[in-house]
Structure 1
C-alpha cells in the first residue's frame, strides 16, 4: 500500500505548514490552513488538546489565553465554550471571529484541500480519554490514511499505535541519537520528525532503508537569518539533503519561503 508520507511512494516532496502558514494568519485556524494550501503546502502540522466533554480541538497550548480572547484551561471548557471564543482577533482584527477547530473538522478540511495532517498530541492530563476520542475521530479508513500522529512522548505514541490498528505515528526529536533507527523501532514509529539543526544524513539513509519517513523542520526566515549570522551553513546542507532524497516532508512557519527555497535550490520533485 502506498504511504502518503513517503516521497518515494508519492513522487514528490511535501511542504508542511507548521500550525498552518502562521506568519500571515493565526496559528491552528482554518485561515492559516487555507493560506498554507494556497502557497503550495500539501501537509499541515497541527496541535491537539482534549476538552472537558471529550472533544479533540486544534490548539497548541493547554490554556486558551495566548491564542484567543478567552482565559483558562482547555480541559475545563466544553467544546461549545471553546468554539465560542475568538481565535483570530488577537493576531489581527481582520481575522476576528476565527474559531478553534476540532480535529474532525480539520480532517474534513484536509480531504477538501487534498492534504495530509501531522497531528501533535499536546494533551497532558487525560491521555486515556484523548485516545478514546482519537479512535472515534479516525474510525473512517479514509480519515486514518491522512493522519500521522506525532509527539515528543514516544512511549505514548507506542500506546496509540497498539490501540488503533493502521494508525501512523511519528516521533519528534530535537537532538541527535547514536542510532536513530533504534529510536524509531523501539517505539514502532513510522516517521521521525527531525529539526534541521540536528539532521544526520547517515541516520536518514538508514531510516529510509527501513521504510521510515522523515519530516525535517526548517523553522522560519527569522531563525535562518540568526543561523547565518551565527555561521551555520544550512543554505548549503539543506539543498544537499533534499537533492539526495533524504527528506519526505519539509516543514516551517512560512510556506511561501519554503517553496521559494526549494525552487531556488533546484530541489523540486
Structure 2
C-alpha cells in the first residue's frame, strides 16, 4: 500500500493500524499544526475576504463573482456550502434557490441535475444570464487553477456524512492548504476536526460568547469570526483571543470608517461585499496615508424636470443621473418606479406629484427630488377618453363632444360620473370627470 496522507485522530494524533502485518516506512514527512499561524503580522494590512465573491458587483456565490473578487485583490473567497437532494455540495447562501435563481424550492429538495439547470445570474442583471450555481467541486477547481484561497462556510446543520463529502472534495482537489472552514454550527466544526484536523477552523458568531477564548480552545479554533456589531460591543476580546493564538475575522463590513476602526482594534481580516475597495484601502494604509473615504454619491433627476407642467398626452420618461452609487431607488408619490419607465400621466390625479431618487454607495447616501404638476388641458382630456377602455361608440361620441368646444365639459363630466364602475373603470371615470370640471371652471374664468 502506498499513501500520501495518514489521518489524524480528533486530538491531532497520527497512527497507521496494520493489524499485525509487517510495515516499512519510507520518506515520511509530518507537518505540525502550528498554533497562531493566522494572526496578522505587525505592519501587515487586513486580510481581504470577499463575501460570496464580489457580491456587490456580480451575482453572489458564482464563479463570476469569484473572478471579479480575485481581480480586485481579494486573497480569499468566502462562500456558503449546502448539499443537494442527492448529496452534492453546492455553493448557495439561502435555504432555497428562490432569491438568487429562476427556480423555486429548498436546495435540499432539488437534485444536482435540477440545480445545474438553474440560471443564477439574471436576477442580478441581464449580462449575467446563464450563470450557473456552482458545485463546491467546480469552485475548488477554479481556485486551484486560477488562484485564490477559500473561506468555506458550512451553511446550516450538516450530518457527519455531509461534512465528510465536503472534506473529500477539498482533498480530491488538493486544496487542504488553501481552505479555511468556518460555520455557525458547532457540530459541523467538530465533524470537520474529526475528519480533517489539518483544516483550520473558524467559529462564526453574531454576539460574542461569554468566554470566546474558552470556546476557541474547546473547539480547536484557528479563528473566531464575530459580526461587526458583536465585536463593537466587546472590542477587548481581540487581545484575549490573540493571546491564545486565535485570529479574529469580522463580518460583514463595507464601510471605510469601520475598516479603519477594525484595523486599529487589531483584527486580522475583514469579510466584505466590497473586496476591491478594501484592497485599495489597504494599499493606501500600507503607504502610510490615511485612506481617503469613498466619495459621497450624487444623484439628480433629469426627467421630468423639476417644476414641469404636464398634461395627459405627455409620457415623460423617468430618468436620473448618478455617480458613486451602487444602487439608485426611484419612487413616484412613494411608489417604486424603475428608471427609464414612461410615466403614465393618464393614471395620475390633477395637481402636484413628487419624484424622489435615493442613491447609496460606499461613500454614503444621496437624495434628489423633483416636483411636477399634471394640469387639465383639452388635449389631455382627449387622451384620457381615447385610452379609457370604454366601448368604441362611447369613445366616438365623447370625441365629438370634445370637438364641439368648452360647452360640452359639463355633460362630459356627468357622463363619466354615470359610467363609473359600469362601462368605464371607476378610477378613469373620476379622472375624466375631474379634468372636464377643471376645464369648465377655467373656461368660466
Task: Please confirm whether the aligned pair reaches a TM-score higher than 0.5, indicating the same fold.
Answer: yes
Unaligned runs of 5+ in 2: 1-31, 289-445
**What is the deviation of 1:140?**
4.2
Considering only aligned residues, what root-mean-square deviation do their CA atoms show, in Å?
2.6
Point out the structure with the larger helix share. 1
**What is the deviation of 1:40?**
0.6
**What is the deviation of 1:267?**
7.8
Of 47-56 and 211-220, more deviation after overlay is shown by 211-220
**Cα deviations by residue, 1:105-147 (Å, 9 ceiling, x for unpaired):** 11122223332111111143x5233123113212248311211
2:57 aligned to 9, 24, 48, which one?
Answer: 24
Find the counterpart in structure 2 of residue 115 from structure 1. Answer: 148
Structure 1 contact 42–114 (Cα < 8 Å) conserved:
no
Find the counterpart in structure 2 of residue 210 from structure 1. Answer: 244
**What is the deviation of 1:263?**
3.6
1:190 has 2:211 as partner: no
Q: Distance in 2 between matches of 1:132 and 1:178?
A: 31
**What is the deviation of 1:175?**
1.2
Unaligned runs of 5+ in 1: 225-232
Q: 1:113 to 1:247 in 2, by over 3 A?
A: farther
* Equivalent residues, number: 253
Q: Distance in 1 between matches of 2:260 and 2:149?
A: 28
Structure 1 contact 86–98 (Cα < 8 Å) conserved:
yes
Find the counterpart in structure 1 of residue 186 from structure 2. Answer: 154
**Cα deviations by residue, 1:16-48 (Å, 9 ceiling, x for unpaired):** 110011111000001111111111101011001
Structure 1 contact 173–193 (Cα < 8 Å) conserved:
yes
Q: Secondary structure of 1:172's partner?
A: strand
Residues 29-44 of structure 1 mapped to structure 2, 5 A cutoff: 29-44=62-77
Q: Distance in 1 between matches of 2:180 and 2:145?
A: 18
Q: 1:235 to 1:106 in 2, by over 3 A?
A: closer
Residues 1-269 of structure 1 mapped to structure 2, 5 A cutoff: 5-8=38-41, 13-124=46-157, 127-140=159-172, 142-199=174-231, 200-221=234-255, 234=258, 237-241=261-265, 246-266=266-286
Structure 1 contact 50–123 (Cα < 8 Å) conserved:
no
Structure exhibiting the larger radius of gyration computed from Cα positions:
2
**Cα deviations by residue, 1:210-254 (Å, 9 ceiling, x for unpaired):** 222221224224xx7xxxxxxxx736522412xxxx332221111
Q: Higher RCO, 1 or 2 (CA under 8 Å, sep at least 6)?
A: 1
Per the normalisation by structure 2, the TM-score is: 0.52
